[in-house]
């Protein structure tokens, strides 16, 4: 099978239990290192969480997968609807009681965890009261199905995330 050019790569982002998906285009022209690392590691996913501080965000915490963590390319602290963001956190950053993960944040208490996030509505601000600004790498943009996904995210916020997974796969 021929390799898909970086500028033509799309993924499917899904809330698996709810059976809802959207399609996103990788922003290889703006975040080439991050896009390459994610693409090469797909499929990815895990338990879904809804943001406490950033507002209209869902995310999954996954083990680090890049040979080297990407630099802060195409950064933002004000993601817009449809943005896919990449964050790297240490266990101590997520281990505070205010985050609710406990002292073993991430996967098996690893010292580093990757947060793959989808922002589904406006008025997001990546500001953590404990640590300050939390810039993320914008590596993808939803191009189809954001309305359905936003409805499912609102349901997740109101009904709960328990048992739900967020997955990222090649389209």
The pLDDT value given to residue 7: 86
Backbone region of residue 146 per phi and psi (left: phi > 0; alpha: psi in -120 to 50; beta: other values):
alpha
pLDDT digits (tens, 9 = 90+) for 102-120: 544 544 555 789 999 999 9
pLDDT of residue 61: 93
What mean pLDDT is predicted for residues 5-12?
A: 92
pLDDT in tens, 30-76: 999 999 999 999 999 999 999 987 899 999 999 999 999 999 999 99
- Mean pLDDT for all residues in the chain: 90
Q: Can you give the residue ranges of every domain in the chain?
A: 6-170
Q: Is the pLDDT of residue 22 over 50?
A: yes
**Who wins on pLDDT, 54 or 24?**
24
Rounded to an integer, what distance in angstroms lies between the CA atom of residue 113 and that of residue 65?
9
Helix (H) or strand (E) holding 152: helix 146-159
pTM as predicted: 0.90
Mean pLDDT, residues 133-142 taken together: 97
Class of CATH domain 6-170: mainly beta
pLDDT tens readout for residues 93-102: 665 555 555 5
pLDDT tens per residue across span 125-137: 998 877 889 999 9
pLDDT given at position 104? 45
Question: Distance of CA 161 to CAs 41, 58, 87, Å?
Answer: 24, 10, 20
Cβ–Cβ contacts within 10 Å for residue 118, how many? Answer: 28
């Amino acid at each position: 099978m021929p390799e898909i050019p970086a500028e033509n790569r799309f993924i499917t982002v899904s809330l698996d239990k709810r059976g809802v998906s959207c399609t996103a285009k990788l922003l290889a022209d703006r975040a080439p290192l991050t896009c390459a690392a994610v693409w090469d590691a797909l499929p990815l996913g895990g338990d879904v969480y809804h943001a406490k501080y950033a507002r209209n965000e869902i995310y999954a915490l996954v083990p680090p997968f890049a040979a080297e963590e990407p630099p802060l390319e195409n950064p933002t602290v004000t993601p817009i609807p449809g943005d896919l963001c990449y964050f790297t956190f240490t266990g101590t950053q997520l281990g505070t009681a205010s985050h609710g993960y406990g002292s073993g944040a991430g996967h098996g208490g690893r010292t580093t965890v990757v947060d793959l996030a989808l922002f589904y509505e406006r008025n997001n601000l990546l500001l953590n009261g404990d640590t300050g600004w939390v810039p993320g790498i914008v590596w993808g943009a939803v191009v189809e199905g954001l309305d359905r996904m936003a409805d499912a995210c609102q349901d997740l916020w109101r009904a709960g995330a328990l048992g739900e997974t967020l997955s990222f796969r090649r389209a």
